[in-house]
Structure 1
């Protein structure tokens, strides 16, 4: 007769360890798969960011080239001498975003401002005052932009020209209509009558001097 009895706790522990040994490789493999997927997502995200950055740099280079074509003529003195306000303003606006990073754009910006001072000193005097007060170039130019539609060299202190007094018929024609033709003719007749009355004493005086 066998008096040996199995220990239930020990048997349970042994059974549990067997399960752990069987499951451990599967868990380890799952962890490896998860780590691989995570690394793959990181690489894909980095690749997307790189592509986005490359596309942005390409777009910026294209914008720079397009802007350069607009402000580059401003570095040509011959072009600048004949350019009008609109042409110079466009070149100035194209050079402004690149003036701090591109020496050519900075030169074009300064030359455009000099040319604008020649073309429209009135507006540019206000621009220069705003710059001295600390306004950024774009803010100052935006404020003075409406002034370019005014007289570039206004003269102050001159009296208004004196207009000769208009005859009654002309004054009547300038008034609100309708007016009848009788009123116009009457006004014209009054001018003739006045002129005749003025000339008549002169003729009388000539007759009186005769012997």
Structure 2
């Protein structure tokens, strides 16, 4: 008999750390690819040697084709609906460096971001706020990565329970002068005392002649 029981809190925390590491790694890799692309384009502009320029373009084309294979599934709605967090984030990371110059990559980036909003609304809400502030996608995802360690849908709590209305005696007893506690008790007991002191009326007997 297995006496080991899983700790739900520990498993949830471990999954949150995995999501943070995954998104940080993806954002870092995408940023590195984007930097290489910019550097290659800069070298192409200043490179005088045609052979070196051709080699750079060849390597860039190979890298583009490899990235395209990774983001291409995002164009399939069926794949996207079934994609998990890891698969979607990898497709996003492959598409984002080429999104500024490739419409297909831009569409894949947007579709992956929509899927990530379904999988982890909390983390993506931070990403969307950063994007609204003008932060570029790679940097925004890098800054939002720690938020993916938390639960996807945090709850804000339940409303406080309604309290019962206090009785007249308690309400008056909690007040200060000019209403002392004795007067408050006397006030509430007065109707009851008057009721007790009231004589009980009995029905008149019918007297026969």
In 2, distance between residues paired with 1:156 and 1:68?
40
User: Which residue of the partner structure matches residue 102 of structure 1?
Assistant: 102
Matches within 5 A, 1:1-211: 49-158=49-158
In 2, distance between residues paired with 1:111 and 1:61?
24
Q: Deviations over 1:57-110 (max 9, x none)?
A: 000000000000000001110100011111111100100111111111011000
Q: Deviations over 1:2-33 (max 9, x none)?
A: xxxxxxxxxxxxxxxxxxxxxxxxxxxxxxxx
TM-score (norm 1): 0.52
Query: When the two structures are aligned, how many residues end up with a matched partner?
Result: 113
CA RMSD, Structure 1 to Structure 2 (Å): 1.6
In 1, distance between residues paired with 2:85 and 2:146?
13
Structure exhibiting the larger radius of gyration computed from Cα positions: 1
SS at match of 2:96: helix
Q: Which runs of 5+ in 2 are unaligned?
A: 1-46, 160-209
SS at match of 1:71: helix
| Structure 1 position 139, deviation (Å) | 0.6
TM-score (norm 2): 0.52
In 1, distance between residues paired with 2:125 and 2:85?
15
Larger relative CO (CA 8 A, sep 6+): 1 or 2?
Answer: 2
Q: Deviations over 1:107-143 (max 9, x none)?
A: 1000001000111000111111111111111111001
Which stretches of structure 1, 4 residues or longer, exceed 2 Å deviation after superposition? none
Q: Which runs of 5+ in 1 are unaligned?
A: 1-46, 160-211
In 2, distance between residues paired with 1:113 and 1:48?
40
User: Which residue of the partner structure matches residue 175 of structure 1?
Assistant: none
Which has the larger share of helix? 1
